[in-house]
Amino acid sequence: MPGELAEPTGVLAGVDPADGGFAYAPSRESTDLVAIQDRYGLWIGGEEVEALSGRTITTTNPATEEPLAEVAEAGPEDVDLAVAAARRAYEDGWRDLPGRERAKVLYRVARQLQERARELAVLETLDGGKPIKESRDIDVPLAAAHFFHHAGWADKLEWAFANRTPSPLGVVGQVIPWNFPLLMAAWKLAPALATGNTVVLKPAETTPLTALLLAEVLAEAEVPPGVVNIVTGGGATGASLVSHPGLDKVAFTGSTTVGRQIQESLAGTRTRLTLELGGKAANIVYEDAAVDQAVEGVVNGIFFNQGHVCCAGSRLLVQESVAELFLDKLRRRIATLRVGDPLDKNTDVGAINSAEQLGRITSLVEAGVEEGGERWQPACALPEKGWWFPPTVFTGVSQSSRIAREEVFGPVLAVLTFRTPEEAVAKANNTPYGLSAGVWSEKGSKVLWTAERLQAGVVWANTFNKLDPTSPFGGYKESGFGREGGLHGLASYVSLGRR
Amino acid sequence: MLAEIEHPDPGPTRLAVGGPVAADGPRSVDGRVLRVPAVDAVGLEERAAALGGRSVKREAKLGALSLLIRCIDLTTLEGADTPGRVQGMCAKARRPEPADRTVPPVAAVCVYPSLVPVAREALVGSGVKVASVAGAFPSGQSELSVRLADISSAVAAGADEIDIVLNRGAFLAGDHRRAFDEVVLAREACGPAHLKVILETGELGTYDQVRKASTLAMAAGADFIKTSTGKVPSAATLPMALCMAEAIRDFADQTGRQVGLKAAGGVRTAKQGWQYLVVIQEVLGPAWLTPDLFRVGASGLLNDVLLQLRFQASGHYARPDDVSTD
């Protein structure tokens, strides 16, 4: 044996023997790869330009409350320029580019997203507060997958719509939320570009940075100038974009309140509209479910991305016969969630996206307590700086309470029980929303019986929050209309003529 | 959640081959019905992958590596095993890193019954346990009396721990009662020795069966349930260990008895090793992170752990030939 370890101390001297558990050492993803500019302009006509408005907004790291950058706030005159640039790009070539050429561009975007995946993931986590393992394993790979998928469609549109002639709509205004900033940009851009439209995209006020990095990626992938324009800003910028008369279509993902305003403003115009709005999804757990995996599914359903998910399984409907056992297992599982530094690879639940959102969550939770719900939270130490909310479970919730009806958009689960499948379906559907739902049972016929009766755009069976570019996603009732992903999503970006 | 194993009546049971079943041991479960929920393969494997993705670094890694060594059943189970080979392995078990006294001994040495006396002698005063496979390992396809005699003689020869196989023939034929009763008898034959029951998960076909076999073995008195013999192509996997850990947790909830988990076969790298520790820690809780309740049966794992420790100490990777291969 070699003698280099012969020193009296030894490698395990003083090491905690780990009997009785070991604490994970901090395992922080490095931020060296990411260069954040102090100031960002708008991305119009293929270049970064100063906003005519002269105004800026500050984007902040929600985990530390430290400002990350100053970002231009586009005014109406900036939106005018962006729409005009998109119109020029549409008429000067993108519209008439053969599908196979558009496909090449989109494939390049997809590959470049993969190439810069780590950088994008770190930036997403810095700007939005979501755990690095989610931005790394879900947001960025799925964003690339959306470009790959739609690149594949670009030269096959004639076959996508049998006996119809698809043609692009023109210039599309897209407004996306802060919960999946890059992924939502990909969801919106990929189908629009594949079908020959040009775009003005407005990222969310609190999370503009990955969209601005995406602009760089698009340029590297040789997306022609003006095909994608990015105007940053808050609600006012969004309002001037969606009401711009130069648009042929508006696509919005966000709250139902704003969606309703947009629909009002577009009523009577020829501008097409798709809306992907809020949700209050039910996760129905039958007594014959695979209980440990159902617990995982419920945890994933509500705590994925701190519950900032429109399709989050925010209502647990558990069959009364197993409710006690299930909730016991659920609480124990939740107690193992690691809440904290989003850049740590072992973090399960990150920071709340903004102080404003934290306030909204806090006030709804208070309302839940006032209405007699029983609040449970695991013992978990939250960082001192930043915006945080612990995983929360409400039991003793009635179907009428606010916590069971309103979208919290945070890590808060409302638990209700049911006795029969009919009651489960009735309770699940008794909501103004209808975006998603989950069914947990080992009995296939019962899963299908239930799924057929659920008024939700997506129903997951024995899983939850599974998103895929080939699968249409969208809502019933106040969760909006139109679909994203799959053939249905593609159809939202073409007009179909008769052959 | 509907499938359940009826726990046997508290009264005495008799097997066709004879022999009363002890009134203690598994009967302490007070006749309650034990839950055997269904297992969803997709969800289980996702959870295992998520746990396998935990990042174990620096001081956490050192602690984990130290614990791993202390949980290893250093194993040789070959027809060609000789006293010389077992003695060499025992020396390694006592002092895995002779030049570094902070590196602890392993938990046990695991051998065939005929080599128990050799291991016993080589390990005197070391605190390292002697484990013996027994009961017509690895198939279990011998008459019950022969299997029980195999166990008794290994214990008489000085084995502290006995690793037997579940009667998969009976289990897969649906004769759960027979599989159960045989474990009860094996537990009795073990006397003071600890009993580990190998499910041979690679032969059970589904996670549902693994979950059922886990509960059956625990109810019958197993001190440990173990994944595999290492003699079939599909050995320990993280999802299998997770499935068994969930069964152990439910069993402890219902009966108050803590049963150990042993992963065996296919665990070759330190990283795989700490992934099992993560599963134990997050599913069963830190109380299970002790050699009394977790083991990993392996031959090559120890050396990879030692190489990792050297890397932690020196900052560069040692060559495989820098550690001994006995």
CATH number of the domain within which B303 lies:
3.20.20.70
| Residue B263 lies inside a defined structural domain of this protein | yes
What CATH number is attached to the domain comprising A232? 3.40.605.10
Residue B201 lies in a domain: yes
pLDDT single digits (tens) A397-440: 999 999 999 999 999 999 999 999 999 999 999 999 999 999 99
The confidence score (pLDDT) of residue A4 equals: 52
| Domain extent for B59 | 30-314
Structural domain contains residue A447:
yes
Q: Residues in chain A whose beta carbon is closer than 8 A to a beta carbon of chain B?
A: 1-6, 9-13, 15-27, 133, 287-294, 296-297, 322, 325, 336, 345-346, 442, 462-463
Candidates A5, A347, A348, partner chain B, best to mutate (most B CBs within 10 A)? A5
Q: How many domains does chain A have?
A: 2
* Residue A448 to residues A42, A126, B2, B273, Cα–Cα distance (Å): 48, 41, 19, 41
Residues A303 and A215 in one domain: no
Q: Specify if B198 maps to a domain.
A: yes
- Kindly state whether residue A81 falls inside one of the protein's structural domains: yes
CB contact under 8 A, A293 and B289: no
Q: Are residues A399 and A459 in the same domain?
A: yes
Task: Give pLDDT tens digits for A234-272.
Answer: 999 999 999 999 999 999 999 999 999 999 999 999 999
Same domain, A187 and A75: yes
Does residue A78 lie within any of the structural domains? yes
Does residue A27 form part of some domain? no
Where is A68: in which H helix or E strand?
strand A66-72
Residue A252 near residue A200, CB atoms below 8 Å: no
Residues in chain A with CB shorter than 8 Å from the CB of B285 are 21
Point out the residue among A11, A18, A336 whose CB comes nearest to the CB of B100. Answer: A11
Is residue B224, in this structure, part of any structural domain at all? Answer: yes
The nearest alpha carbon in chain B to A442 belongs to B38
Q: Do B63 and A22 touch (CB under 8 A)?
A: yes
Given A310, A311, A478, A484, the catalytic residue: A310
B37, A290: Cβ pair inside 8 Å? yes
Q: Same structural domain for residues A270 and A294?
A: no
Cβ(B97)–Cβ(A7) below 8 Å: no
Of B43, B103, B314, the CB nearest to A10: B103
- Measured between beta carbons, the chain B residues lying within 8 angstroms of A292 are 37, 39, 43-44, 246
Task: Assess if residue A459 is contained within a domain.
Answer: yes
Whether A339 and A318 map to the same domain: the answer is: yes
What's the token pair of residue B54? 């935990």
Catalytic residue among A119, A124, A134, A276: A276
> Cβ B286–A20 below 8 Å, yes or no?
yes
Positions of B annotated as catalytic residues are 163, 226, 262
Look up residue A373 and give its two tokens.
């719900």
- Is residue A65 in some structural domain? yes
Instruction: Examine the domain organization and report whether A252 and A383 are in the same domain.
Output: no
Give the nearest partner residue to A345 out of B39, B55, B323, using CB atoms: B55
Mean pLDDT within A337-363: 98
Count of domains forming chain B: 1
d(CA B326, CA B242): 31
Q: pLDDT-based confidence at A14, cuts 50/70/90?
A: confident
Instruction: Establish if A160 belongs to a structural domain.
Output: yes
Domain identity same for A489 and A440 = no
* B308 contact residues in A (CB cutoff 8 A): none
Shared domain for A179 and A321, answered yes or no, is: no
CATH of residue A464's domain is 3.40.309.10
A315 and A437 together in one domain: yes
Could you report the predicted ipTM of this complex, rounded to two decimals? 0.93
Residues A262 and A391 in one domain: no
Q: How many CB atoms lie within 10 A of CB B144?
A: 21
CA distance B288 to chain A (A): 7
Domain range for A364 is 282-469
Residues A373 and A231 in one domain: no
pLDDT 10s digits, B100-132: 999 999 999 999 999 999 999 999 999 999 999
pTM of the model: 0.93
Residue A58 to residue A54: CA distance in whole angstroms? 13
Measure the CA angle with vertex A20, ends B58 and B250; round to 5°.
120
Report chain A's mean pLDDT, rounded to a whole number: 96
Query: pLDDT in tens for each of the 326 residues of chain B?
Result: 334 555 444 333 323 222 223 233 233 345 667 889 999 999 999 999 999 999 999 889 999 999 999 999 999 999 999 999 999 999 999 999 999 999 999 999 999 999 999 999 999 999 999 999 999 999 999 999 999 999 999 999 999 999 999 999 999 999 999 999 999 999 999 999 999 999 999 999 999 999 999 999 999 999 999 999 999 988 899 999 999 999 999 999 999 999 999 999 999 999 999 999 999 999 999 999 999 999 999 999 999 999 999 998 888 888 888 888 87
Asked, for residue B319, whether it belongs to a domain, the answer is no
**Does some domain include residue B15?**
no
In a domain, residue A5? The reply is no
